Structure 1
Amino acid sequence: MARVYLSIAKMKNKLELYQELQSRLKESQRALGDATSDSDLDHSAHEKIKAMGQVLSKARAQLYDCKLVTGKLRAMLQTADEQVRRMKKQSTFLSQLAAKTMPNGIHCLSMRLTIDYNLLLLEKRKFPRSENLENPSLYHYALFSDNVLAASVVVNSTIMNAKDPSKHVFHVVTDKLNFGAMSMWFLLNPPGKATIHVENVDDFKWLNSSYCPVLRQLESAKMKEYYFKAENPNSLSSGASNLKYRNPKYLSMLNHLRFYLPEVYPKLDKILFLDDDIVVQKDLTGLWAVNLNGKVNGAVETCGASFHRFDKYLNFSNPHIARNFDPNACGWAYGMNIFDLKEWKKKDITGIYHNWQNMNEDRVLWKLGTLPPGLITFYGLTHPLNKLWHVLGLGYNPSVDRSEMENAAVVHYNGNMKPWLEIAMTKYRSYWTKYVKYEDPYLQNCKLNE
């Protein structure tokens, strides 16, 4: 009310009262400061607040006009509402910006590892137990990542919770820029008795624009225009959603390689796909025993909330989408998926994916990202897993159930607040940091610590 009367006093040229109100208002603000309870207040604060009350009574006696006061309050509420909206927009934008930025420490780690890898003799760059890479009787994992630290946590947490690590095989694929660093890390930090192999996605010569529609689209001038020039996407004025969908991860073939698993691993029958923002908390071998009932993809469904149904990802105003899919169909999560590669080949999953990608050349069928085309490609071919296999939300939801997190086989930091970023939610970070080798000299030299 002090601000209302301050405005009215100025408007009615009550300069003495205006100055008194302004003085008391500043005095009260200083007295309150950052206090959150009475015990935090200075001993003189109560007297200053009392004086503020007296001047407000004086202002009411001289200035009160119901219509005028109501109008001023309404204007103040509208201004406050606009400020809140502006701050929310700015917060979302900055969150998206932080999410796509690699911290200096991880960049340092990658650079130092790359330098040392390039100094290694060729014969020392080989990983042991290569005979296990195509053995279908073992437990195989696919991990596609350009983040050395994140990948190390996935592998470390899986092995530390495995009943028999010697039966686990990790297939890590990264890009040309991070291949040396990723290889060096796992050469220096092998996963015990488990098998690991690191590959460079650029070495997959079959994965070219003549075979892969999304690669052809990503290389097109039209797509480059969309990602790099349209509406100045790196500014706040263009909106956070623009920045979100122009994240570099959408341009990386590492993000789309999940649709080519049988081509990458032709000798395997089943493989567990893991995102690099997950932490494994239990032995996962039980997933290979799950009966998928002829389906291709085993995944945890996410339709507990309405925004995880198909109509939130796909454009049902388009007749191709409307004819082929149920808008209320339940969505599911990427990040921990058991894939039956035999059924994949039988049902020509990659062919289905290519068909829909060709139809979506102009990007009107679904939102950007890999989940929408995944929902389309595996429609009717996904077996729902028990929710405790995969608990999501640690990268955006401050209210994830603690008992669910504790009992989950895998927890997933999907969202912007990744555990390696400063914007990570503190209360969830320990699930991830417990598997980071902070004692490693590379991490210490790059000032990566808890």
Structure 2
Amino acid sequence: MAKTTNSDNVHIHQVSDGRVGSNSSVFREAPAFRNGDTCGNNDRMHVAMTLDANYLRGTMAAVLSILQHSTCPEDVTFHFLWVRHEHEVFSSIKATFPYLNFKVYRFDVHRVRGLISKSIRQALDQPLNYARIYLANLIPNEVKRVIYLDSDLVMVDDIAKLWKVELGDKVLAAPEYCQANFTVYFTEAFWSDPYMPRTFEGRKPCYFNTGVLVMDVDKWRYGNYTKKVEDWMVLQKQKRIYQLGSLPPFLLVLAGNIMPIDHRWNQHGLGGDNVEGKCRELHPGPISLLHWSGKGKPWLRLDSRKPCSVDHLWAPYDLYRSSRHSFEE
């Protein structure tokens, strides 16, 4: 577990300076988390997330949860992707986490906007939802491995355990579900085509959620996986072959060909389905990460005073000042 102090000698990595704006008061300042005595000179752990003003409350909670449960929080560098410089968002991060090691990168939406097809939920059609496809092209070349995380989750275990998973010869590691019914992810136009279903030949029909990924960045670059995913998105524009945002092209390229890791690292679906967002219970088994994928987000349900039972597991990490929940230092 991380130590907390009030020391101020940690270097902050940033791409620009700026005064803390009025929006800084929206979130409480988190404590400074320090490395434990066993950390020594460990390698840096790299975590990538997107920055969206609409999901900033979730991002803040996710970052807090990672730092709080990390034995070596000072060894974590965050890489944030956004579509434009938003001063209030940037200032909020600096004010809430004054000691955070982080960098921010602009994601050029023009590269992907023309490839996005309308899906069953508008939130899935936002360009930032596709930023993970371009992650390897945005972060520095010296970063060889990165953990990509969605903003609607909290970590309840030491991220170093996830960082150290073996990838072998695979480009990605993620929890895998091999009892998946792939017919629900692709349309009749896909399955009736004489050639497209053959892409799965020799591969198990294994689903994985793209909200928690461990990526070998060099393998992604050398394997030209961005282009492979884009090719399916181009085909989708010509002939509608799936309904769900950025997930299906990932499955088309990599399903059955990733390194499977323990399901504890993505207890996903806590936001319910993509249409109604109804409450769901936790899956049985140990949990290291809770993920509110689906339509329902815990901060919205808590604010509406109609929370699901699982939302109370997210509440302790909520740094929003107007929240009734508070972080216990």
Partners of 1:418 and 1:273 in 2: CA distance: 19
Q: Please state if 1:181 is matched with 2:79.
A: no
Which amino acid letter does the alignment assign opposite residue 147 of structure 2? L
Instruction: Answer whether contact 2:176 2:260 (CA < 8 A) is retained.
Output: yes
Residue of structure 2 in register with 1:311 after alignment: 183
Match of 2:282 among 392, 400, 405: 400
Instruction: Kindly state the Cα deviation for residue 380 of structure 1 after the two structures are TM-superposed.
Output: 4.4
Instruction: Answer whether contact 2:20 2:95 (CA < 8 A) is retained.
Output: no
Instruction: Answer whether contact 2:152 2:291 (CA < 8 A) is retained.
Output: yes
> Any idea what SS the aligned residue of 1:322 has?
helix
- RMSD between superposed Cα atoms in Å: 2.7
- Flag the 1:191–1:296 CA change in 2: closer, same or farther, 3 A: farther
Say which structure, 1 or 2, has more relative contact order (CA 8 Å, 6+ apart): 2
Match of 1:410 among 289, 293, 305: 289
Q: Please state if 1:320 is matched with 2:218.
A: no
Alignment TM-score, normalising by the size of structure 1:
0.56
Which amino acid letter does the alignment assign opposite residue 181 of structure 2? R
Residue of structure 2 in register with 1:259 after alignment: 133
Instruction: Kindly state the Cα deviation for residue 247 of structure 1 after the two structures are TM-superposed.
Output: 0.6
- Flag the 1:283–1:432 CA change in 2: closer, same or farther, 3 A: same
Equivalence map 1:186-201=2 (5 Å): 186-190=93-97, 192=99, 194-201=100-107
Q: Please state if 1:274 is matched with 2:156.
A: no
Equivalence map 1:42-61=2 (5 Å): none
Which amino acid letter does the alignment assign opposite residue 181 of structure 1? E
Residue of structure 2 in register with 1:289 after alignment: 164
Partners of 2:204 and 2:164 in 1: CA distance: 30
Partners of 1:375 and 1:384 in 2: CA distance: 14
Q: Please state if 1:142 is matched with 2:48.
A: yes
Instruction: Kindly state the Cα deviation for residue 321 of structure 1 after the two structures are TM-superposed.
Output: 2.2
Q: Please state if 1:161 is matched with 2:69.
A: yes
Alignment TM-score, normalising by the size of structure 2:
0.75
* 1:113-160 C-alpha deviation (Å, 9 max, x unpaired): 996379xxxxxxxxxxxxxxxxx9410111013121111001000000
Instruction: Kindly state the Cα deviation for residue 366 of structure 1 after the two structures are TM-superposed.
Output: 1.8
Partners of 1:412 and 1:294 in 2: CA distance: 27
* 1:378-414 C-alpha deviation (Å, 9 max, x unpaired): 234311111112212211252324x63xx31111111
Instruction: Answer whether contact 2:172 2:259 (CA < 8 A) is retained.
Output: yes
Which amino acid letter does the alignment assign opposite residue 183 of structure 1? F
Partners of 2:300 and 2:194 in 1: CA distance: 41
Instruction: Kindly state the Cα deviation for residue 184 of structure 1 after the two structures are TM-superposed.
Output: 1.2
Which amino acid letter does the alignment assign opposite residue 316 of structure 2? K
Equivalence map 1:42-441=2 (5 Å): 116=22, 137-146=43-52, 147-176=55-84, 179-190=86-97, 192=99, 194-201=100-107, 204=108, 208=110, 212=111, 214-218=112-116, 245-250=120-125, 252-265=126-139, 266-304=141-179, 308-314=180-186, 315-325=190-200, 329-396=205-272, 398-401=280-283, 404=285, 407-422=286-301, 425-438=307-320
Partners of 1:389 and 1:248 in 2: CA distance: 24
Which amino acid letter does the alignment assign opposite residue 298 of structure 2? P
Which amino acid letter does the alignment assign opposite residue 428 of structure 1? V
Instruction: Answer whether contact 1:297 1:382 (CA < 8 A) is retained.
Output: yes
Instruction: Answer whether contact 1:321 1:365 (CA < 8 A) is retained.
Output: no
- Flag the 1:363–1:156 CA change in 2: closer, same or farther, 3 A: farther
> Any idea what SS the aligned residue of 2:22 has?
helix
Partners of 2:315 and 2:239 in 1: CA distance: 38
Which stretches in structure 1 are left out of the alignment for 5+ residues?
1-112, 119-135, 228-243
- Flag the 1:398–1:360 CA change in 2: closer, same or farther, 3 A: closer
Instruction: Kindly state the Cα deviation for residue 360 of structure 1 after the two structures are TM-superposed.
Output: 2.0
Partners of 1:287 and 1:411 in 2: CA distance: 14
Which amino acid letter does the alignment assign opposite residue 113 of structure 2? L
Instruction: Answer whether contact 2:143 2:217 (CA < 8 A) is retained.
Output: yes
- Flag the 1:248–1:336 CA change in 2: closer, same or farther, 3 A: closer
Instruction: Answer whether contact 2:208 2:255 (CA < 8 A) is retained.
Output: no
- Flag the 1:363–1:275 CA change in 2: closer, same or farther, 3 A: farther
Instruction: Answer whether contact 1:298 1:338 (CA < 8 A) is retained.
Output: yes
> Any idea what SS the aligned residue of 2:133 has?
helix
Partners of 2:307 and 2:172 in 1: CA distance: 31
Please tell me whether Structure 1 or Structure 2 has the larger radius of gyration of its CA atoms: 1
Instruction: Answer whether contact 1:174 1:182 (CA < 8 A) is retained.
Output: no
Partners of 1:350 and 1:200 in 2: CA distance: 17
Partners of 2:215 and 2:129 in 1: CA distance: 17
Q: How much identity, in percent, do the aligned residues show?
A: 23
Which stretches in structure 2 are left out of the alignment for 5+ residues?
1-18, 25-41, 273-278
- Flag the 1:253–1:388 CA change in 2: closer, same or farther, 3 A: same
- Flag the 1:432–1:399 CA change in 2: closer, same or farther, 3 A: closer
Partners of 1:330 and 1:381 in 2: CA distance: 9
> Any idea what SS the aligned residue of 1:245 has?
coil
> Any idea what SS the aligned residue of 2:290 has?
strand
Residue of structure 1 in register with 2:276 after alignment: none
Q: Which has the higher helix share?
A: 1
Instruction: Kindly state the Cα deviation for residue 246 of structure 1 after the two structures are TM-superposed.
Output: 4.5
